[in-house]
């Protein structure tokens, strides 16, 4: 094979790849350099968190896969084991489902443990972080990153590279989530203010030190001046001494001068040092003032920034609020539009259905007739089923009897067979013995028999004849064989009878199956009819709701028309008459329906000469008018001076247009009186009457004219015609329109009255229909008397009264019989109850407990006597009448009580068809269902008959308990009613007599009794013989007559 040289391209391809990677890396670095480092770090941390979450999810998925794999292996192993094991052997151990549940619970427990560990680690870490944060808060402020311009002596914090990119378990922005941490701007501002206060305090201390230093400098300057003066004096003295003193004194003076010069030099050095310190303090003060000004500028800038931020947040909140409101308004409008569309569609459908249903009366009658026919058919089928059940019960009873006889014959046959086997064994033993004897002795049995016969003959000759013993033995054998044949024949006969009964039961099973199919068909049809009926009821209910809404709207409109709850606006009417100007017409007034506005305007009055003579020629009389209209208050015009006063007064009256107003306008008059003021009093000098009949007759609704003022006869004034008054009267609503509104109002009120009467009538009809419910009955409980009742203390006779509670009614108490050991109570109460499964269970399981209390006894929880009355006879339509013994709270006998309990109508126990689903569940849980029939291959021994179940339940079922005397369900008699058609009041509803126990004759302490005879709590306590008196045992329960 030849090797052809080829060019190696791997190196170039590798170079190209490395160059492409370098370019890509450079491009990525450029893109990363453009990004913000904080954003880049945030992205990195997010990706890191996502990676961790994905790893945790992957681990969980791997754990799930492992668990599923183990489950799969276990299932495969179990399947192999089940295939390997035979059918008869049962493999011990728990099922795979329980093992799977245990595995799931173990996995959940391990997960919870891991979570608990992680939470504990987080708690420890958060505690460490909290301690570190507290230490950092103590040693760190927000201004640590700002380098101080003055050497404070504190060591600067050097940022450690180890703390970079340290990630902490928990939320990143914990400071943002906490609601108690302040905003950063406010914190900076507070820290700046604190620093400013500290700087101001240090500045004040520096000022104080500077002032002390200045005082010291001034004192030193004064001392220096004093010493200079002293030095000059010393020099002058030395010069004078030098001229006239000796050398020793000169030397001493020179020494003193040198000492003073040295002291002066020290003082000047100290002065220079103090001056340098003062200059340093001044420079520090200037720097502090500069930093203070900068901090103040920074504080102002931060204040402005905070204000801008606050304004921006307020604007954003207002914009957000407005946006949310607008969105909510838009959503509400859209929802209203959708509702209006649906309502429009429903109204259209309802209108169409109303139009279609208006002509469907015949169909309703047909459906009602069909419903009646189906109900009759269902009742017939129920009666047939009840009859079949009765026949089936009798057949099962016969079957049990036959079964018992068959068992007896089987036992006898078994005993005879055992005897037969024993005789056969004995015979075989004898035969074997004879055969063995023949073989051993070579003797033939025939010869032995012949010899025995010969011997017997000889014995018969010599001895008396004992043949009757052999005959007895033969007869016994024949009797046994005959008995065996008879038993075999009886066995064959019983087998034939059993086969016949089996065939009969199989036929009955077929018949019941056919009945069941028919009942299922009927039930299916009934369900279909009920579903159709329910759909029609729903449809008619919707139509009725729509009609009710329309009726309510119309009733509201009628109420608005009848009672004036709606207001309307009266339009302006331009003035037609020249005397009525538009200036006098005010703005339109809103009036309620059925109201009108009558305006009476008094313009001016003119007096004649006789009136002026009365007033006097040279005087201007002060007059005013009063106006009296209908039932309103008296109106007064302003007081006007002059001989022709112009009042220009308008009185407005809001009136209801009714018969009284019309009568007033047609028959009565409006009176205007003229009064003259005299000082602070007035006198009536004239009056006139205005007839407003033309307002009703005219079409304009306005009346203008003048009326003569007739002088009044008070104060001996007899002038006659006093003058004229000009007036006008106007109706804002024309009378024709007012009449129309009045008619509408009266008509609406009439409609409302008739509808209210119809509503009350229908309500009464509904109440009567409810009272005519055929499933209701009334129980009368009569407590006649008590005898030989002893009080708890023997020193007084008791004031006795009784309390009891029946079913779910309230507690009933009787009247109090004072000072009697044999009270004649004679209390009767009637209780209307529905005859349903709850009442039937209550009557069969509970008992009526009647407590007798002494009103003089001050103890609340102690009763004198107690009687327990079983209610089981009431469930069989029997009345309870008798004398029952009573016991006190210690269980001792304490008198007797005569009680009567009876039904007003015949009591019918509820059938399964009238029970509710809850009642059926309750009854189904307590009483097992009876199987319909037995299949041919089923055994009868495993089932109990109806008679055995009746014996176990101790209930005597009679035909009249299920059916009436004629095989039909009993009908309840009509409820007694009075002449008005309502139900007559019962004894419990009738008022008590004057002896009724009230709070006045009862004890101040109420007796607390717990009645524990409810259905869910009560367990009937059978009465023993020693609890009953002889009279009670003889007449405790008597059948109803």
Q: What is the SS3 string spanning 584-603? A: CCCCCCEEECCEEEEEEEEE
The mean pLDDT of 507-525, rounded to a whole number, is 88
Q: Does the pLDDT of residue 621 top 80, yes or no? A: yes
Q: Does the pLDDT of residue 378 top 70, yes or no? A: yes
In the prediction, which pLDDT does 365 show?
Answer: 74
Q: Does the pLDDT of residue 325 top 60, yes or no? A: yes
Identify the three-state secondary structure at position 1041.
coil
pLDDT band at 14 (very low <50, low <70, confident <90, very high): low
Return the higher-pLDDT residue of 118 and 1021. Answer: 118
Identify the three-state secondary structure at position 50.
helix
Residue 806 CA from chain centroid, whole number: 31
Among 354-368, 468-482, 521-535, which range has the highest average pLDDT? 521-535
The mean pLDDT of 517-542, rounded to a whole number, is 88
Return the higher-pLDDT residue of 152 and 318. Answer: 318
pLDDT band at 738 (very low <50, low <70, confident <90, very high): confident
Q: What percent of the chain has pLDDT over 70?
A: 69
Q: pLDDT, tens digit, for every residue of 203-260?
A: 788 778 778 877 888 888 788 788 778 877 877 776 666 555 556 777 787 888 888 8
In the prediction, which pLDDT does 534 show?
Answer: 87
Q: Does the pLDDT of residue 304 top 90, yes or no? A: no
Length of the chain (residues): 1041
In the prediction, which pLDDT does 397 show?
Answer: 83
Return the higher-pLDDT residue of 565 and 723. Answer: 723
Lowest mean pLDDT among 285-299, 413-427, 548-562, 735-749: 735-749
Q: Does the pLDDT of residue 445 top 60, yes or no? A: yes
Q: Does the pLDDT of residue 982 top 50, yes or no? A: no
Within 10 angstroms of residue 266's Cβ, the number of other Cβ atoms is: 10
In the prediction, which pLDDT does 618 show?
Answer: 54
In the prediction, which pLDDT does 179 show?
Answer: 40
Domain ranges across the chain? 25-87+94-137, 184-319, 363-562, 582-753, 772-908+970-1035
pLDDT band at 464 (very low <50, low <70, confident <90, very high): low
The mean pLDDT of 1000-1026, rounded to a whole number, is 41
What is the rounded CA–CA span in Å between residue 916 and residue 919? Answer: 5
The mean pLDDT of 336-357, rounded to a whole number, is 78
Residue for token pair 């602070």? 680
Q: What percent of the chain has pLDDT over 90?
A: 14
The mean pLDDT of 9-21, rounded to a whole number, is 58
Residues forming a β-bridge with 652: 599
Instruction: Read off the tokens for 424.
Output: 């056969």
In the prediction, which pLDDT does 24 show?
Answer: 81
In the prediction, which pLDDT does 653 show?
Answer: 92
Q: Does the pLDDT of residue 883 top 90, yes or no? A: yes
Give phi and psi for 254, each to the nearest 5: -65, -40
Residue 424 CA from chain centroid, whole number: 86
How much is the mean pLDDT over the chain?
A: 73
The architecture CATH gives domain 772-908+970-1035: Sandwich (2.60)
Residue 447 CA from chain centroid, whole number: 111
Residues forming a β-bridge with 606: 724
Q: Does the pLDDT of residue 917 top 80, yes or no? A: no
What is the rounded CA–CA span in Å between residue 689 and residue 707? Answer: 7
What is the rounded CA–CA span in Å between residue 863 and residue 33? Answer: 98
Q: Does the pLDDT of residue 1031 top 60, yes or no? A: no
Residue for token pair 């052809």? 4
What is the rounded CA–CA span in Å between residue 971 and residue 962? Answer: 12
pLDDT band at 814 (very low <50, low <70, confident <90, very high): very high
What is the rounded CA–CA span in Å between residue 76 and residue 68? Answer: 12
Radius of gyration over every alpha carbon of the chain, rounded to an integer in angstroms: 62
In the prediction, which pLDDT does 952 show?
Answer: 43
The mean pLDDT of 828-839, rounded to a whole number, is 91
Q: Does the pLDDT of residue 936 top 70, yes or no? A: no
In the prediction, which pLDDT does 860 show?
Answer: 65
Q: How far is the first Cα of the chain from the last one, in angstroms, to the nearest whole number?
A: 131
In the prediction, which pLDDT does 887 show?
Answer: 92
Instruction: Read off the tokens for 816.
Output: 């109090």
Confirm whether 184-319 and 772-908+970-1035 share one CATH topology: no
Residue for token pair 């003073």? 260
What is the rounded CA–CA span in Å between residue 281 and residue 270? Answer: 16
- Rounded to two decimals, the pTM is 0.29
From the list 685, 697, 700, the residue with the least C-alpha distance to 580 is: 700
CB 933 within 8 A of CB 389: no
In the prediction, which pLDDT does 957 show?
Answer: 35
Assigned fold of 184-319: Helix Hairpins (1.10.287)
The mean pLDDT of 60-79, rounded to a whole number, is 83
Burial class for 634, CB neighbours closer than 10 Å (0-12, 13-18, 19+):
exposed
Q: Interior CA angle at 369 toward 364 and 373, to 5°?
A: 145
Within 10 angstroms of residue 171's Cβ, the number of other Cβ atoms is: 9
Q: Does the pLDDT of residue 850 top 90, yes or no? A: yes
Q: Does the pLDDT of residue 124 top 50, yes or no? A: yes
pLDDT band at 912 (very low <50, low <70, confident <90, very high): very low
Q: Does the pLDDT of residue 954 top 60, yes or no? A: no
In the prediction, which pLDDT does 713 show?
Answer: 61
Q: pLDDT, tens digit, for every residue of 626-647?
A: 999 999 999 999 999 988 999 9
pLDDT band at 579 (very low <50, low <70, confident <90, very high): very low
Lowest mean pLDDT among 196-205, 370-379, 1029-1038: 1029-1038
In the prediction, which pLDDT does 586 show?
Answer: 45
- CATH number for the region 582-753 comes to 2.60.40.150
What is the rounded CA–CA span in Å between residue 566 and residue 744? Answer: 14
């Amino acid at each position: 094979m030849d090797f052809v040289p080829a060019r190696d391209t791997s190196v170039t391809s590798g170079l190209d790849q490395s160059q492409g990677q370098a370019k890509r890396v450079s491009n990525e670095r450029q893109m990363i350099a453009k990004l913000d480092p904080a954003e880049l770090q945030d992205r990195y941390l997010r990706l890191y968190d996502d990676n961790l979450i994905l790893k945790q999810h992957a681990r969980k998925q791997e754990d799930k896969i492992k668990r599923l794999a183990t489950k799969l292996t276990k299932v495969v192993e179990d399947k192999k084991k089940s295939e390997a094991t035979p059918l008869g052997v049962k493999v011990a151990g728990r099922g795979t489902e329980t093992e799977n549940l245990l595995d799931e619970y173990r996995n959940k427990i391990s997960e919870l443990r891991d979570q608990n560990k992680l939470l504990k680690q987080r708690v420890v870490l958060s505690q460490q972080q909290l301690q570190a944060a507290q230490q950092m808060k103590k040693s760190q402020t927000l201004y640590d990153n700002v380098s101080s311009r003055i050497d404070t002596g504190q060591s600067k914090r050097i940022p450690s590279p180890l703390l970079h990119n340290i990630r902490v378990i928990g939320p990143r922005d914990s400071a943002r989530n906490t609601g108690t941490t302040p905003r950063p701007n406010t914190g900076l501002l507070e820290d700046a203010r604190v620093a400013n206060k500290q700087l101001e305090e240090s500045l004040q201390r520096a000022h104080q030190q500077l002032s002390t230093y200045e005082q010291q400098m001034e004192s030193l300057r004064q001392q220096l001046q004093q010493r200079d003066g002293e030095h000059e004096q010393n020099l002058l003295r030395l010069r004078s001494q030098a001229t006239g003193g000796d050398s020793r004194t000169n030397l001493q003076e020179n020494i003193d001068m040198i000492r003073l010069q040295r002291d002066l030099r020290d003082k000047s050095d100290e002065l220079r040092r103090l001056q340098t310190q003062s200059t340093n303090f001044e420079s520090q003060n200037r720097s502090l003032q500069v930093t203070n000004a900068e901090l103040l500028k920074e504080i102002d800038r931060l204040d402005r920034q905070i204000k801008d931020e606050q304004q921006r947040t307020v604007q954003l909140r207002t914009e957000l609020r407005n946006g949310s409101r607008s969105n909510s308004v838009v959503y509400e409008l859209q929802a209203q539009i959708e509702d209006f569309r649906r309502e429009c569609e429903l109204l259209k459908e309802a209108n169409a259905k109303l139009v279609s249903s208006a002509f469907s009366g015949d169909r309703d009658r047909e459906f009602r007739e069909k419903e009646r026919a189906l109900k009759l058919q269902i009742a017939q089928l129920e009666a047939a089923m009840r009859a079949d059940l009765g026949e089936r019960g009798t057949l099962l009873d016969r079957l049990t009897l036959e079964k018992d006889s068959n068992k007896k014959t089987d036992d006898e046959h078994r005993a005879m067979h055992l005897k037969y086997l024993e005789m056969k064994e004995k015979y075989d033993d004898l035969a074997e013995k004879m055969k063995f004897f023949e073989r051993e002795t070579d003797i033939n049995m025939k010869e032995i028999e012949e010899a025995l016969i010969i011997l017997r003959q000889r014995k018969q000759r010599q001895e008396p004849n004992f043949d009757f013993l052999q005959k007895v033995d033969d007869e016994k054998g024949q009797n046994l064989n005959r008995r065996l044949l008879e038993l075999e024949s009886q066995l064959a006969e019983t087998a034939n009878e059993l086969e016949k009964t089996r065939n009969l039961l199989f036929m009955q099973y077929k018949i019941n199956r056919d009945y069941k199919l028919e009942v299922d068909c009927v039930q299916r049809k009934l369900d279909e009819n009920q579903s159709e009926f329910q759909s029609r009821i729903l449809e008619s209910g919707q139509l009725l709701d729509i009609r009710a809404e329309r009726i309510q709207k119309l009733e509201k409109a009628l109420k608005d028309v009848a009672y004036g709850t709606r207001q309307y606006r009266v339009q302006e009417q331009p003035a037609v008459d020249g005397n009525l100007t538009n200036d006098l017409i005010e703005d339109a007034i809103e009036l309620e329906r059925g109201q009108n506005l009558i305006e009476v305007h008094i313009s001016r009055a003119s007096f004649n000469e006789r009136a002026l003579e009365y007033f006097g020629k040279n005087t201007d009389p002060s007059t005013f008018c009063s106006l009296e209209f209908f039932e309103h208050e008296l109106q007064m015009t302003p007081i006007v001076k002059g001989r022709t006063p112009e009042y220009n007064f308008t009185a407005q009256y809001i009136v209801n247009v009714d018969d009284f107003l019309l009568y007033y306008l047609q028959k009565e008059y409006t009176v205007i009186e003229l009064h003259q003021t005299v000082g602070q009093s007035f006198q009536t000098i004239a009056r006139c009457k205005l007839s407003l009949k033309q307002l009703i007759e005219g079409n304009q609704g306005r009346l203008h004219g003048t009326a003569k003022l007739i002088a009044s006869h008070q104060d001996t004034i007899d002038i006659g015609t006093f003058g004229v008054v000009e007036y006008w009267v106007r109706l804002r609503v024309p009378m024709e329109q007012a009449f129309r509104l009045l008619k509408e109002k009266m008509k609406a009120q009439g409609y409302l009255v008739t509808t209210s009467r119809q509503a009350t009538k229908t309500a009464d009809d509904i109440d009567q229909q409810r009272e005519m419910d055929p499933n209701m009955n009334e129980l009368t409980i009569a407590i006649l008397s008590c005898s030989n009742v002893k009080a708890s203390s023997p020193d007084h006779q008791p004031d006795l009264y009784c309390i009891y509670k029946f079913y779910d009614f309230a507690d009933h108490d009787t009247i109090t019989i004072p000072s009697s050991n044999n009270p004649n109570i004679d209390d009767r109460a009637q209780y209307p109850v529905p005859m349903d499964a709850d009442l039937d269970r209550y009557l069969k399981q509970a008992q009526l407990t009647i407590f007798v209390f002494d009103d003089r006894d001050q103890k609340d929880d102690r009763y004198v006597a107690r009687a327990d009355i079983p209610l089981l006879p009431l469930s069989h339509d029997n009345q309870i009448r008798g004398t029952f013994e009573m016991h006190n709270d210690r269980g001792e006998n304490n008198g007797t009580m005569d009680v009567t309990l009876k039904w007003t109508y015949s009591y019918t126990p509820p059938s399964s068809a009238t029970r509710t689903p809850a009642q059926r569940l309750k009854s189904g849980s307590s009483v097992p269902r009876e199987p319909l029939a037995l299949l041919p291959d089923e055994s009868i021994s495993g089932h109990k008959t109806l008679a055995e179940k009746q014996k176990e339940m101790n209930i005597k079922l009679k035909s009249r308990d299920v059916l009436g005397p004629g095989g039909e369900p009993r009908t309840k008699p009509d409820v007694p009613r009075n002449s008005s058609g309502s139900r007559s009041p019962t004894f419990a509803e009738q008022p008590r007599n004057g002896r009724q126990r009230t709070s006045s004759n009862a004890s101040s302490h109420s007796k607390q009794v717990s009645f524990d005879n409810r259905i869910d709590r009560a367990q009937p306590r059978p009465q023993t013989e020693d609890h009953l008196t002889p009279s009670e045992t003889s007449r405790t329960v008597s059948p109803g007559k």
